[in-house]
Amino acid sequence: MQPLPGFRDFLPDDCARRNYVFAKWREVARRYGFVEWDGPVLEPTELYTKKSGPEIVGQLFNFTDKGEREIAMRPELTPTLARVVAAHDRDFKKPLKWFSIPQCFRYEKQQRGRLREHFQFNADIIGEGSLDADVESIALCIDLLRGFGFGAQDVVVRVSDREFWIDFLRAQNVAEEKWQETLQIIDKSEREPRDKTAAKLGPLATPAFEILDGKGGSEKLDRVVAALRARGLADFVQIDLGIVRGLAYYSGVVFEAFDRAGKLRALAGGGRYDNLIGQLSDGAVSLPSIGFAMGDVVLGELIDEIPVAKQQMENAIASGRNLDIYIVIAKEERRADALAQIQSLRDAGFRVDYPLTPAKVGKQFQTAEQLGARVAVLFGDEWPQVRVKTLASREEQLIGNEESLAYLTSLPSLSSRAERSGVEGSRGPTDR
Ligand code: HAM
């Protein structure tokens, strides 16, 4: 039995990678003052048919439930966020800075970088219409990527403005009901031959290509780049009016993050959506908003391609996963004493493992090494003393079992466990 096409099993190594990515997302989001929230996986289909646009709606995993309700699995989080924020408008002081890590489901063709489920880090600023919020959002996107070990030589955030294109469509007398379709053509133009795009655009082709080729600037985007320059992040951004975004609700600045080599699909995407909350709440609540989402699939592909990022991940996973202490039971008569001590060591916060069934001493030491234990403690003939062996240096110390907890706590190689990054659910004091 295989998983469904586009769905993943997460074996322990995959889970460790996923936890690393989630921990980094959370850490950087908190540095920016964002707080975590979440919503339901299932929503009324109508939440998406109303405003996300045809692309997402065509990709819905949807069904009719036993109560005859039309239901969809969330393809993205933004409509849920808009619904939740409108419902709780009075409960929170604005602006909100909220982040979330939903699993999202899209019934699309499986290909490199695109699956039918993925995890998405979302960060949104709600209730702030100034360009400073746009800059803060893009800066967070860049700092997340920096957090994974990428430099400006590895990634770029391409920034554009949906409003610029709306003004263009107005100036070209394009009827409003054609805007969305035209924006989709422009959004796809980079991925298809020019003559094909030209045929779809008709008389708009020449002026649109002039803009796409860099003729025509945007004072708003220049200000965004200047503000990012002041933060030392300008090397990571590039103005590119070819970015329009597929989702229908964007209304202003939009952006997407890519690998510099241009080999992969977008790492992240987002922008300003000042009208969505108003539209979904039928005008009851209106709040300017900006945000973006970064997916785990393309991010994982890029981490594997960039050695520094890969090494950083592997180090974090190893330090988060390794055992502190392996208990070697050399004499089965000592098993009960060993188990009592294992309990105390685990209560003290150490990661401890031991052989569940009798095994040769050599085999037990081998297991200790494989599990990355720093120390092995041998329960055997020397009882009531135990033999503590630091595995890296091979140093050994015979110590009374009663004193061994205090001794192990004082070992420098074990006290460093407090410095772990929080990967794999470590309970160290740095895990705020
Ligand atoms: P999106 O561009 O549709 O935006 O998705 C954001 C990111 O999620 C993409 O750049 C990509 O990395 C990842 N992603 C999307 N679909 C898939 C897929 N099928 N397989 C793997 N990864 C995928 C949104 O979803 C907006 N709601 C983001 C947003 C938040 N805008 C404002 N706030």
Ligand 1 centroid – CA 375 distance (Å): 44
Q: Ligand 1 test: best mutation among 8, 76, 244, most atoms within 8 Å of CB?
A: 76
Ligand 1 centroid – CA 366 distance (Å): 44
Whether the pLDDT of residue 2 is over 80: the answer is yes
SS (H, E, C) 307-348: HHHHHHHHHHHHHHHCCCEEEEECCHHHHHHHHHHHHHHHHC
Ligand 1 atom at minimal distance to the Cα of residue 122: 30
Ligand 1 centroid – CA 27 distance (Å): 20
Please tell me the distance from the alpha carbon of residue 12 to that of residue 366, in angstroms, as a whole number: 20
Using CB distances shorter than 6 Å, the residues near ligand 1 are 76, 78, 106, 108, 114-115, 118, 120, 122, 124, 247, 266-270, 291-293, 295, 297-298
**Mean pLDDT confidence for 62-90:** 96
Ligand 1 centroid – CA 293 distance (Å): 6
Please name the residue ranges forming H helices in 77-230: 78-87, 131-147, 162-171, 179-188, 194-201, 205-212, 219-230
Q: Which residue, judged by its Cα, is nearest atom 10 of ligand 1?
A: 268
Ligand 1 atom at minimal distance to the Cα of residue 108: 19
Please tell me the distance from the alpha carbon of residue 302 to that of residue 78, in angstroms, as a whole number: 25
Ordered by start, the domain boundaries in the chain are 12-315, 325-414
Residue 361's alpha-carbon distances to 353, 384, 393, 400, in angstroms, are 15, 18, 19, 20
Ligand 1 atom at minimal distance to the Cα of residue 270: 31
What's the N-to-C CA distance of the chain in angstroms? 41
Please tell me the distance from the alpha carbon of residue 106 to that of residue 287, in angstroms, as a whole number: 27
Ligand 1 centroid – CA 380 distance (Å): 57
Which residue type is seen at 117?
A: E
Tell me the CATH architecture of domain 325-414: 3-Layer(aba) Sandwich (3.40)
Q: What is the DSSP string of 124-165?
A: EEES--SHHHHHHHHHHHHHHHHHTT--TTTEEEEEEEHHHH
Task: Tell me if 201 sits within 8 A of 185, measured CB to CB.
Answer: yes
Tens digit of pLDDT for each residue in 193-252? 999 999 999 999 999 999 988 877 889 999 999 999 999 999 999 999 999 888 889 999
Ligand 1 centroid – CA 267 distance (Å): 8
**Higher local confidence (pLDDT), 343 or 51:** 343
Q: Which residue, judged by its Cα, is nearest atom 25 of ligand 1?
A: 76
The per-residue pLDDT for 427 is 37
Tens digit of pLDDT for each residue in 89-98? 999 999 999 9
**Mean pLDDT confidence for 175-191:** 89
Whether the pLDDT of residue 87 is over 60: the answer is yes
Cis peptide before 95 (omega within 30 of 0): yes
pLDDT bucket at 283, cuts 50 / 70 / 90 = very high
Please tell me the distance from the alpha carbon of residue 301 to that of residue 294, in angstroms, as a whole number: 13
23-27, 149-153, 319-323: which range is least confident on average?
A: 319-323
Q: What is the share, in percent, of the chain residues with pLDDT greater than 70? A: 95
Please tell me the distance from the alpha carbon of residue 1 to that of residue 12, in angstroms, as a whole number: 19
Please tell me the distance from the alpha carbon of residue 261 to that of residue 151, in angstroms, as a whole number: 13
- What element of type H or E holds 24? helix 12-31
Task: Tell me if 260 sits within 8 A of 68, measured CB to CB.
Answer: no
Whether the pLDDT of residue 348 is over 80: the answer is yes
Q: Ligand 1 test: best mutation among 25, 100, 120, most atoms within 8 Å of CB?
A: 120
Ligand 1 atom at minimal distance to the Cα of residue 113: 21
Q: Which residue, judged by its Cα, is nearest atom 2 of ligand 1?
A: 269
Tens digit of pLDDT for each residue in 131-181? 999 999 999 999 999 999 999 999 999 999 999 999 999 999 999 989 988
Averaged pLDDT of the chain: 93
Ligand 1 atom at minimal distance to the Cα of residue 76: 25
Task: Tell me if 137 sits within 8 A of 290, measured CB to CB.
Answer: yes
Q: Which residue, judged by its Cα, is nearest atom 21 of ligand 1?
A: 114
Whether the pLDDT of residue 420 is over 60: the answer is no
Q: Ligand 1 test: best mutation among 57, 108, 118, 276, most atoms within 8 Å of CB?
A: 118
Q: Which residue, judged by its Cα, is nearest atom 13 of ligand 1?
A: 295
pTM of the model: 0.91
Task: Give the CATH number of domain 12-315; options: 3.30.930.10, 3.40.50.2000, 3.40.50.720, 1.20.1250.20.
Answer: 3.30.930.10
Q: Ligand 1 test: best mutation among 297, 299, 303, most atoms within 8 Å of CB?
A: 297
Which residue type is seen at 155?
A: V
Whether the pLDDT of residue 430 is over 70: the answer is no
Tens digit of pLDDT for each residue in 374-392? 999 999 999 999 999 999 9
